[in-house]
Structures are given as structure tokens and as C-alpha cells.
Chains A and B, each alone.
Chain A
Amino acid sequence: MKASPTALIVDDEPDLAWALQQTLILDGWEVLVSHTGRAAIGQAMAAPVRIAFVDVKLPDMDGLDVARRIAELQPDAMVIMISGYYYPEDREVKEGLRQQLFAGFISKPFDLDEISRLAQHALGR
């Protein structure tokens, strides 16, 4: 039996991380959850990650730095930023997408269908 693809969730908001995790598990993913940037980098070093959802504001590190480190460690991973602070039309978000610092952006609260769609897309890459 083929091993499930692995998704990494990096958010210091446990309930939100939990809901994302349940969604992805139902979609057939293996899910890793980190509440800090440092823990996320450690997990990205240990396992192949196909998709990562990274909160922009983390307690210990800047989410963008975490995203960059994950991308370096897992070049095949699709990195999606999530934020309760920024909106998709913000200059910082557009600039980040343009420079391909991350592959997608989702603002909180979000649609689970959107999460599933992005995860599906990551599998197809």
C-alpha cells in the first residue's frame, strides 16, 4: 500500500491547527502539526513534506523565514501562507506570491474546500 503524502501545519493556534489537521486526514493525508517555527523546521528536516501551511505570525520566528527554510529543506513542497493579519489583496501578500516566496495565501477564517483544493493541487505537481 502506497504511503500517504505528508502535510505540515505550522500555527500557534491549536484549535485552528486541529481543524486543518482533521480536514487533511479525512482527505487522506498524513499530517504533522507544529506550534512554533523551530519545531516546524525540525519536522521538515525529518520527513518529506508535500504541502505546508504556515501562519505568517509565529511566536518564535517570522512565518516567512520558516516558509523559506521549509522550501530549502523540501524543494518539492508547496508552501501556503495563512494569516489572520493579512488579506489576499495586501501588497505584502502580492509581492510574496510574485517573488514565489510562497505558492499560495489563505486568510482566516477560510473555506475547507479551498484547503482540500490546494492540497489536491499539491499532489498533482
Chain B
Amino acid sequence: MIQPTNPDSAIEVGQSQYPNLLTVLLDSIPSSVLILDRSLRVTLVSRNFLEKGRRMAENTLGRRLEEVFPPAILNYTQLDQRARSVMLSGRPYDGGKMTYRAPGVPQRVYYYNLTPLREDNQITGVLLLMHDITEQERLTEDMRRAERHLASVVESANDLMVSMEPNGRILTWNQAAERITGFRAAEVIGHNLADLCAAEQVEEMSDLLAAVRQSEPIKVHEFDLQTRPGKAVPVAWACSPMWDDHGQVVALVAVGRDLTERRHLEAQLFQSAKMASLGVMAGGIAHQLRNPLGAASAAAQLLLREPENRELGRECAQKIYEGIKRASAIIESLLRFARPDSGRFYTVSVNLVIGDTVAMMRHQANLNQVVVETELNLDLPLVYADPSALQQAFTNLFLNACQAMPTGGRLLIRTRPLTGEPFVAVDFIDTGCGIPPENMAKIFDPFYTTRPVGQGVGLGLAIAYSILQQHDGSIQVHSTVGAGSTFTVLLHTALPAARTTDTEGSL
């Protein structure tokens, strides 16, 4: 500390025991200290101030404030006026920020305050204390920048990003979530994410969030999200817990991908593959139609030939009627198959879907000299499914079995409930060529086919697989080369509630 030859009264306090106390104190504080007298001349200055300001004691002590600080700073902080007002009022000034740049050093930021100094109830001076907060300022600014950056990462993301309290109440809702759902953040914050899911999935989403809260490992799940226009958007959700330093779950994070576009492309692919498999089946379908048409046509001609034979005529009319009915049924099942998947899920009897599939495909099997047998379990629980998609999956498995038996064979289709598990199993058991182990991994790959070019594009099993994935189901294969293959489809049973209430759309 540099002090004038005429020491201040305050210094005398410490002189009794520790003559240098004030000097030691002031020099050890990492702050700048100035004492100004009534005419705002510097009467005491700490070494810290001189070092930071690149000044000498000689041109500081005894100088007026405006000689020590550059005019720009005085102007900006009104330091001289504030000091004067502290002197007059006796009330301390509790601080402001000051940016100060001494010649030859980088700019620094100070936080300063002014304290009146009294002597015999008379204010004789002002203490100016300047804390260097450059580092704090920089850290704060860095932190703000990092926060802004993170926020813009979240906001610029194409995926929905939602954070929630552990109970599922929404805390943040990014722009993608606003764009995709049409709901502004302010509208949904405080609501439970589960409540924004499609009505029939609210409970499932709640269960999922509860599992995340327990830090259970969670796969990506698909839930439809309600939108402002009242539609549902398919979203694949990846949920994770957010822990604090003590390992407590303090929040939940859900990142969701809008599957609309993907669903659209999948639907297009399914539809074109369906048309391709219709091409494969066309011969069989034509044959199937030409039989009842042939019978009806022959019976009609017979009727024309023998108008007087009433007994024969009656029988002919019956045959004509039956032939037309059969032809209509074939056309109807064909149209039902060709129709794009509705994407609507109902409670569905797997036995009925198998029945439809077999009715449509039996002739295809006959052409291949494949004998089709069914063993349908009559106590089979219902499943929750898109019936047209399910029929496509079964049709593809049926066709695959026929193709595995080019010289004929036997196809057994069996439905059974899994004991003790909420699943329905459908087995397609063929006596075909079997699948060599080295091909096993490839059979569900799109465009993988063992048939010659032009006789199939290799999408049948890939599409069956994809349809079952969408149904949260699965396909397993067991195969022995030369003996045959068994494809087993597993489908979740419908919830008991859905089984009783949602019968309107069931098959």
C-alpha cells in the first residue's frame, strides 16, 4: 500500500500492535482500493490499483479523480458525481459495473462501490473499492453462450424434444414439437405427455414413462401424437431419465421422430409389392374365375338348348346362380387384397383373416399341387391389427410356402394361443425344399429371392416382416433342408377392454 506522509486516522487503529496491518491487509485483498478526500483527490491507493492501471504512486497520490481515470470512464460511470453525492449524503453507493482499459493491457471489468469515511461524525472522504470481475463475466458469458447454443440445438432439431418432470408433466417443448403437433409450448407445458397420445395409447405411454422413471432400459416405442387439427401423427419415441449428481431421476427426456413420411413411403412400397404379388397370383386367380364362369356359361347354354326340360332347367339355373356367386366372391377377395392398407387397427379374429387368405389362395396352391390344411383354434383370443395388412402378411407367407414346394406338397396353417402369454401364434408349416442355414439371415431382406429373374422381386417376406413389426409382432423360422420350413407368426392379443368395447370394426 502506498500512503501519503500524513497518515489517515484509520491507520492509527492498527498501529498499536501491528504497525503494518493496513498495508498488509490492503495489499492482500485482490481488489483495488482508493481513498478520496473531500475534494476528490487520492489520499491512499492500493498496489493492486497501480498494477492494474499501470500507474505510478507519484502520479496518482494527491491527484484529482479526473486525473486518475480517463474522461470516458468518468462520463460513463459518473464516478465523480457519485463520489460527491456519497460525500454529501453519507449513504454508500452499492455498486455498479465499470469497464476499464489501462494502456497496454486488455480491457477489464470491475464491480465497484463507494463508502463514506467519517471522522468525528464528519464525512472526510470516500473509499472506492473495485473488484475485478473480468473472469466471472467471461465465465458467465461462456455459460450463457453454451446455454444459448444448447437451446438452439434443441430448437433447431427436426425431432421432437420434450423434457418432463419425473411424473410426465411437460417442462419444455421444442419448435419441432410445435410444428409437428400444432400445439405451442405454452399450451402443453404442465400437461402430461401421455395425455397428448392417441386415446387408446394413453395408458401404455404412462406405463412407459413410469418404466423410464425407474431407469429401466427402454427400447424405441411408437405412439401416435394428437395434433391441433385433430389428426394423429405416428412418432417413434426414445425416452430416457435425467439424473442429478446423487443418481436421483430429476426429469425425463423424450426424443421423438415423426414417422409420417416414412409411413407414407412404406405404404407406397407395400402397395407396389402387393401389385407385384397380384401379378404372380394373376394366373391362379384367372383360373379360379374361369371355373365358375365356365360352369355358369355351360349351364346357361344347356338351358337354352333344352327350354322344355323343366327339371334340367331348374338345376341349370341353380348352377348359374352358384357360379356367379363364386366368381363374385373371388373378385371381392381380390379387391380386398388389392386395396391399400387402411392403417386402421381393429380387434380382429386371426382365424377369419386366415380363412380369407386361404379362400383367395387355395387355387394358387392347387396349381402348385399343394394340399392346404388348416387347424384353427376356436378359443383363439382376438388381436389388435390392421386386417388388410395382416392378410397381406399371411398371403406372402402362403405364397412363399407354395414357392418352396415347386413339385407339390402339403401346407398346414395352424393357429394357437400361447399358454400363459398374451400372444397368438400362427404356424405356416410346409413340406418344401427348406432354407439352407447360410441363407437364413437373408430371407427377410428386401429384394432377396432364390427365384429366377422375372419371377418375383423378393419383397414378400420382407413385407410380411415389416407388417408384423408394425403390429408389434414377430416371425420366427425353423427349417430343415429337404424336409420343410415352419414360419411362426406371433401377434399380441388385444387388450381385454378393447376386446369388449371395440367390436364395431372387427372382422
Contact = CB atoms under 8 A, between A and B. Distances in A.
Contacts of A112: 298, 301-302, 305
Given A59-B366, A84-B286, A85-B286, A16 B291 contact: yes
A109 interface: yes
Q: How large is the interface on A (under 10, 10 to 19, 20 to 34, 35 or more residues)?
A: 20 to 34
Contacts of B286: 84-85
Contacts of A19: 295, 298-299, 301-302, 316, 319
List 6 A-B pairs, minimum CB-CB distance, nearest first: A84-B290, A19-B298, A108-B294, A109-B297, A15-B295, A109-B294
Contacts of B293: 108-109
Interface in B269-312: 283, 286-299, 301-302, 305-306, 312
Interface string A37-78: 000000000000000000001011000000000000000000
Nearest to A19: B298
Nearest to B319: A15
Given A85-B286, A109-B294, 19 more contacts: A12-B366, A13-B295, A16-B295, A18-B319, A19-B295, A19-B301, A19-B316, A20-B298, A22-B312, A23-B298, A23-B302, A59-B366, A59-B369, A59-B371, A84-B286, A84-B287, A108-B293, A109-B293, A112-B302
Nearest to A55: B291
A57 B305 contact: no
A84 B366 contact: no
Nearest to A12: B366
A111 interface: yes
A26 B306 contact: yes
Given A15-B323, A22-B312, A84 B291 contact: yes
Contacts of B312: 22
Given A57-B366, A60-B369, A108 B322 contact: no
Interface of B: 283, 286-299, 301-302, 305-306, 312, 316, 319, 322-323, 366-367, 369, 371
Interface string A1-40: 0000000000011011011101100100000000000000
A18 B302 CA distance: 11
- The secondary-structure label for the interface of chain B is helix
Contacts of B367: 57, 85
B287 A85 contact: yes
Given A85-B286, A85-B287, A108-B290, A15 B322 contact: yes
B135 to A, nearest CB: 89
Nearest to B293: A109
B280 to A, nearest CB: 14
Contacts of B290: 84-85, 107-109
Contacts of A26: 302, 305-306
Nearest to A15: B295
A15 B287 contact: no
A32 B76 CA distance: 119
Contact of B294 (A16, A22, A57): A16
Nearest to B309: A26
A16 B299 CA distance: 8
A14 B224 CA distance: 52
Contacts of A12: 366
Choose among A13, A83, A111, A113 the residue with the greatest number of B CB atoms under 10 Å from its CB.
A13
A108 B296 CA distance: 11
A59 B366 CA distance: 6
Interface in A63-120: 83-85, 107-113
A113 B305 CA distance: 10
A19 B299 CA distance: 6
14 contacts: A15-B322, A18-B295, A19-B295, A19-B316, A22-B312, A23-B301, A57-B287, A84-B286, A84-B287, A84-B290, A84-B294, A85-B286, A109-B294, A112-B298
A109 B367 CA distance: 18
A39 B319 CA distance: 24
B300 to A, nearest CB: 9
Contacts of A22: 302, 312
Given A59-B366, A108-B294, A15 B283 contact: no
A109 B291 CA distance: 7
A85 B283 contact: yes
B310 to A, nearest CB: 14
A109 to B, nearest CB: 4
A15 B292 contact: yes
Contacts of A83: 287
Nearest to B291: A13
Contacts of B291: 13, 16, 84, 108
A22 B303 CA distance: 11
B279 to A, nearest CB: 15
